[in-house]
Structure 1
């Protein structure tokens, strides 16, 4: 009599038992949060709708601010094709990540996934990469918040003090222990960035740039073109949070609904916003694009977007803190109970994440370029490339080895192509970022640390 077929979420990768010791397997052999009935702190409370809002709040935040400048470099047609293609591609890789999570409910973050695919070394690399990327993301939105306050105050206060104000607010908002406690902030944040975008389009339409130049295509070098397309590439760089978000869902099987909502909204909004802003501003479009608006409109749009920047920074720093917290306290009472030690460590971790981001943003003159390097090194894999490894692994270990890979030749081809695309973005993006740093130093554009 044949064995009953298991649901994907019930299957376990035989590779764990084959390759690792029992002690190592025990770290990741069950749903990360388990049965939460009666626990003081319950994580699995998110609906797919609120997961969508959190994703939009985190991903769309800085994405719309830099995209119109890409059109100014390569033209409307190539940029629009790229925005739509990358949106569809990100939806495909999101599907691979969701399937992998459902097959392996023990996965809480990229580090756990790295353990399954590449062993202990993979876990350390992907965990460290997630923390670095999350802190760099925190620093990026802190700088956006500082730019907003600088604009609103007419440069009336030292930029470092403004950055400190944004950082302190971000730290406070990052403190809730679960993403469910941040979910309503996610809804508010998504509404703010959407409203800010629409207001920016209205402002650009009312105040078009005279004698602006609009180009369907613009001949350019590979370096300049790739420098421009890094904006749309990294505008979708939010997959590194997917496993954590799905882990806190009431119904993880609904995760693809959230991914559809995110990518549908982001791709449509990115395309419409970028084209409208470029059509009214032309090839003088700046990054952030809000600086291309008249002062009054820039202040209005920055004022609305400021809340999104702060909440987005809280999500990034929360992610870095949560990964470390779960890594050290997994399966302990401190995860689900209000213990003094648990709360003390949690507050320290949140403070450390925001503080490190603040220090780097103020002490490292080339921090904005370092953000580009971290995005190239990690977002290229977390959003795109590594999803191919997930598909190949589960198809091989859960569906019949090499015969399954040959039978599903189309999926195998797409998975390998995904890995290669991720590798290309990683290498080319890193090269572009390093070249930018060299040019910045040679031109004297690099400032000094801890200055206004």
Structure 2
């Protein structure tokens, strides 16, 4: 049986060649939305979508990750940050941020080389045929599914904070009730407005946290008493690995990039979106991780908002973070539902305003299934740190640091030197080993987490 990726347009090996003079019409088709409308997203629109997707719950756990790993990793992070603009920064093994940026730039170049690609799996097919398509489909949609689970979980936790301790199960129900109506959007172009809201809503709590912790010095007494840092790493191996996976999760999101570019008027402009978005969240990540760890030391919690002593500030942070997570959650549900719709109903995606009643009902059923599944899993695995580490390990590493570096030497072969191609392949192999270790450690940690909290508990 041939494995087929849930693509939204038929995939073909290589760029289309039209011998009967119809090349112009085919080229025009690739500049249309999936439902026939003219592509309209600009690089600014895509930048806000990327920020709303990538900058999120991961940033709130970076200070805790550095507390686990020690200042050695922090210094390494700073060195990498200083070399962000150098494309050869991927050669640094710890270059999560620079590697993430470079991976996105590679994907932009590959998308321009394969203009008919509308999903990540299309690049896999162009590079390695059905095998590449199957692997990208497996890991890509595993990542999106895991992201939906983690967003449902973290949104429920922040709603619990906002409501001053409402039962977690009730919070999860309320989150699902808010997300499901918003999940009726059919593409990113329809979400440009809420993408801006989602991107800006994560910046407000970052500022509130910095003001409250660094300037005002208002932290939990336990954190204030233990505000010491360490150069070394004194945590157990599994804990350290999960912390690394949390950092990788904070840099991931590449599984959405091809779909975002497929809705742009000029996909090559996605380079501007990436550079602008990366510059923004590099500053946010750097400040939150380093300043948070320096101010709170080994006692820093994840999320860092748990260290805030002022209840009013905690609730304001929870409100803005909840808004951001809901937007990112809706985007993830949309991409996953679009893939399921194509795979199950064998029809191209439509804009919501053009959909028939039957299509609207089927879309509602698909999105409801995703949200309900996320609700169930979030109540079975209510351990945010371990779940983020697991998602980052099993699919975040592969979709960000493995597949782009494997596909680029094939799709961009004539643009790369042999040394460059081998370096990319070496990064992919090393990243695969990291993923295996990360999955093993995350599963081990989650198994022990059941000792502290039972499923479906308040």
Fold match (TM-score > 0.5): yes
User: Alignment partner of 1:45: what SS?
Assistant: coil
CA change 1:364–1:32 in 2 (3 A) is farther
Aligned to 1:290: 305
Deviations along 1:21-76, one digit per CA (max 9) or x if unpaired, are: xxxxxxxxx77963539x97637221111111111111111121110101212223
Aligned to 1:447: 454
Q: How far did residue 332 of structure 1 move? A: 5.1
2:71 to 55, 58, 76: 76
Aligned to 1:23: none
Structure 1 gap segments, 5+ residues each:
1-11, 18-29
Aligned to 2:369: 352
Distance 2:272 2:395 in 1: 25
Residue 47 of structure 2 contacts residue 277 of structure 2 at CA under 8 Å; is this kept in 1? yes
Q: How far did residue 451 of structure 1 move? A: 3.0
1:118-129 equivalences under 5 Å are: 118-129=128-139
2:55 to 54, 60, 73: 60
CA change 1:231–1:368 in 2 (3 A) is closer
Q: How far did residue 167 of structure 1 move? A: 1.4
Distance 2:288 2:350 in 1: 45
Deviations along 1:172-217, one digit per CA (max 9) or x if unpaired, are: 2221122111111111111110111111111112115534433251
Aligned to 1:237: 252
2:445 to 430, 436, 442: 436
CA change 1:32–1:82 in 2 (3 A) is farther
The reply to whether residue 217 of structure 1 matches residue 242 of structure 2 is no
CA change 1:434–1:363 in 2 (3 A) is closer
Aligned to 2:338: 322
Residue 53 of structure 1 contacts residue 190 of structure 1 at CA under 8 Å; is this kept in 2? yes
User: Alignment partner of 1:177: what SS?
Assistant: coil
User: Alignment partner of 2:202: what SS?
Assistant: helix
After the TM superposition, which of the residue ranges 298-307 and 187-196 deviates more from structure 2?
Answer: 298-307
Aligned to 1:414: 423
Residue 185 of structure 2 contacts residue 191 of structure 2 at CA under 8 Å; is this kept in 1? yes
1:279 to 282, 294, 303: 294
Residue 73 of structure 1 contacts residue 218 of structure 1 at CA under 8 Å; is this kept in 2? no
Aligned to 1:374: 391
Q: How far did residue 355 of structure 1 move? A: 1.7
Distance 2:405 2:448 in 1: 35
CA change 1:414–1:262 in 2 (3 A) is farther
TM-score, reference length from structure 2? 0.83
The reply to whether residue 36 of structure 1 matches residue 51 of structure 2 is no
Distance 1:222 1:211 in 2: 26
Residue 45 of structure 1 contacts residue 248 of structure 1 at CA under 8 Å; is this kept in 2? yes
Distance 2:251 2:182 in 1: 23
State the superposition RMSD in angstroms: 2.8
Residue 386 of structure 1 contacts residue 419 of structure 1 at CA under 8 Å; is this kept in 2? yes
The reply to whether residue 250 of structure 1 matches residue 265 of structure 2 is yes
Q: How far did residue 271 of structure 1 move? A: 0.6
Aligned to 2:409: 392
1:159 to 168, 172, 187: 168
* 4+ long deviations beyond 6 Å: 30-33
User: Alignment partner of 1:210: what SS?
Assistant: helix
Q: How far did residue 170 of structure 1 move? A: 1.4
Structure 2 gap segments, 5+ residues each:
1-11, 18-25, 82-94
Distance 2:328 2:60 in 1: 14
Aligned to 1:177: 186
CA change 1:61–1:365 in 2 (3 A) is closer
User: Alignment partner of 2:186: what SS?
Assistant: coil
